[in-house]
A = this chain, B = another copy of it.
């Protein structure tokens, strides 16, 4: 077997179509195109017509519980969209943007892989069109305005100990998790213990993800709660007169970015909120724009179907009134063996027993998705170590369980590796059947309980004393009918990352609740949430380089 070239090598060897041609292919009016070089563009949402007429079928691409080896969700999404295009469909990708932190840290790129990539991958993985930078700038301008307000007399009576707004940077930097600012004496601000999150975890990222137009963006930015007064009243960005400046900083970022797959399929790549602290998928506007120009839109949600998938349905689809026509659950034989207890280092060895035991994870995710009124198909991403017996087992399992399953080979073959999967998906699409799991009007506690019992299969929810206080505060402030974003480990259905497979009867421990009044949801923290990653001992950054002609290497 010849070794396949690296992702960046494949991407660089590929001749891209001019972005204007990609746009023309999709029917996007030339006047709406804001080019960034010849291979990237923003699409001006004010010049594309009426988004309420966006009728393309939306397909959610989600996955089993993630495992250390990786399942290839984005890669499958990209290859599958190319496969649909090959079959004559007007298919469009809608995907989140990569974050620079992980690119420099542990993940390398996040633009697909092998022959199923979006390109230009170097640009997409580095600064792209500057959306993350715009969020960083807006986030930190607001932070400066808060501290400046306190420093300059504090007319609003903000309690410096209760400023909840954190600064952010698009970097993996553990040393910024907890910092003390404002040191150096009275001319240099008011000392405060605070922290930085990675930009993807900023509420402004979540707002970008959910905004329906510029006015909605402006309203949401004004609605942000930055902290609390000495008498515990929330203070908003609007009260600091910050909403206009933040909107100015975010104005261009609101327009979705258009690139292409290696197959020449149009791809909207826009926004990238974390799936633990936020809803974890590309922007609503990118999905809607893709729906306006495509007959079928494949879009991804972060982590497994219990985390990103649930939030996609209950947050994004709810806010955007999306009808979700279908779903793909991306899995690998390796991941199911891992969920069945096989050690990571042994995963390339055939192990039918572990596979049989672990496939309950896939079952559970399929069952869960059906609760949202969609009929998922399973994409089993091939890996060289999969054995015939293991594949046979999976085929039999799918028949018994009653779900469409197809193997895919998108990493090695691009769209040609997902033809059967594309056909299976098309056969399983429905219209008007998708729904949300809960009604937020029932209150935050009931919403949490619904997700905990229906999706996580917990027996009950336990609240810490802090969480009970937070719940009371939420009710007192009229925030009790916001939908909820549960922040939980992605490795298990439970809040304990060691419980693989399909645990049930466990207890979901809620530690704290935080209301995001701008994004419009309540974040429910269970266990520790990392909103600022760290770099590994040998970060990816060590391998990245540029030659004298500007060619980048080591991005993957």
B546 contacts A247, C-beta separation under 8 Å: yes
A214 within 8 A of B: yes
A323 within 8 A of B: no
- Complex interface: chain B residues within 8 A of A466 (CB): none
Q: Which of A467-508 contact B (CB under 8 A)?
A: none
Bound complex: CA of A46 vs CA of B169, how far in Å? 31
What's the dominant secondary structure at chain A's contact region?
Answer: mixed
Q: Give the distance to chain B from A381, nearest Cβ to Cβ, in Å.
A: 29
B141 contacts A245, C-beta separation under 8 Å: no
- Complex interface: chain B residues within 8 A of A307 (CB): none
A192 contacts B215, C-beta separation under 8 Å: no
Q: Residue among A172, A173, A536 with the most chain B CB within 10 A? A: A173
Residue of B nearest to A548 (CB): B215
Q: Which of A328-375 contact B (CB under 8 A)?
A: none
Q: Give the distance to chain B from A428, nearest Cβ to Cβ, in Å.
A: 41
Q: Pick the residue among B134, B188, B244, B555 that contacts A177 (CB under 8 A).
A: B188
Q: Which of A32-40, A90-98, A293-301, A404-412 contacts B (4 or more CB under 8 A)?
A: A32-40
Bound complex: CA of A127 vs CA of B189, how far in Å? 27
Q: Which of A9-25 contact B (CB under 8 A)?
A: none
Q: Given A140-B169, A151-B175, A126–B535 Cβ distance below 8 Å?
A: no
Q: Pick the residue among B136, B148, B546 that contacts A174 (CB under 8 A).
A: B148
Q: Pick the residue among B122, B169, B535, B545 that contacts A244 (CB under 8 A).
A: B545
Q: Which of A132-168 contact B (CB under 8 A)?
A: 133-134, 136-137, 140-141, 143-145, 147-148, 151-153, 167
Q: Which of A178-186, A281-289, A513-521 contacts B (4 or more CB under 8 A)?
A: A178-186
Q: Give the distance to chain B from A534, nearest Cβ to Cβ, in Å.
A: 7
Bound complex: CA of A526 vs CA of B169, how far in Å? 32
Bound complex: CA of A419 vs CA of B169, how far in Å? 48
Q: Give the distance to chain B from A33, nearest Cβ to Cβ, in Å.
A: 9
A174 contacts B145, C-beta separation under 8 Å: no
- Complex interface: chain B residues within 8 A of A552 (CB): 248, 251
Bound complex: CA of A72 vs CA of B137, how far in Å? 28
Q: Give per-residue flags for A304-321: 1 if the beta carbon is below 8 A from chain B beta carbons, else 0.
A: 000000000000000000
Bound complex: CA of A247 vs CA of B137, how far in Å? 22
B214 contacts A550, C-beta separation under 8 Å: yes
A170 within 8 A of B: yes
Q: Pick the residue among B35, B151, B249, B550 that contacts A126 (CB under 8 A).
A: B249
Q: Given A126-B249, A179-B183, A148–B214 Cβ distance below 8 Å?
A: no
Q: Given A178-B183, A184-B178, A541-B145, A127–B173 Cβ distance below 8 Å?
A: no
Q: Residue among A34, A104, A215 with the most chain B CB within 10 A? A: A104
- Complex interface: chain B residues within 8 A of A152 (CB): 535-537
Bound complex: CA of A555 vs CA of B190, how far in Å? 28
- Complex interface: chain B residues within 8 A of A179 (CB): 179-183
Bound complex: CA of A152 vs CA of B136, how far in Å? 27
A145 contacts B175, C-beta separation under 8 Å: no
- Complex interface: chain B residues within 8 A of A541 (CB): 141, 145, 241-242, 244-245
A214 contacts B141, C-beta separation under 8 Å: no
Given A34-B38, A144-B173, A152-B537, 5 further pairs, Cβ under 8 A: A104-B245, A144-B171, A151-B534, A177-B184, A179-B180
User: Can you list 12 A-B contacts with CB-CB less than 8 angstroms, sorted by A residue number?
Assistant: A34-B37, A35-B37, A126-B248, A147-B175, A169-B169, A174-B188, A175-B192, A179-B180, A180-B183, A214-B546, A248-B546, A251-B550
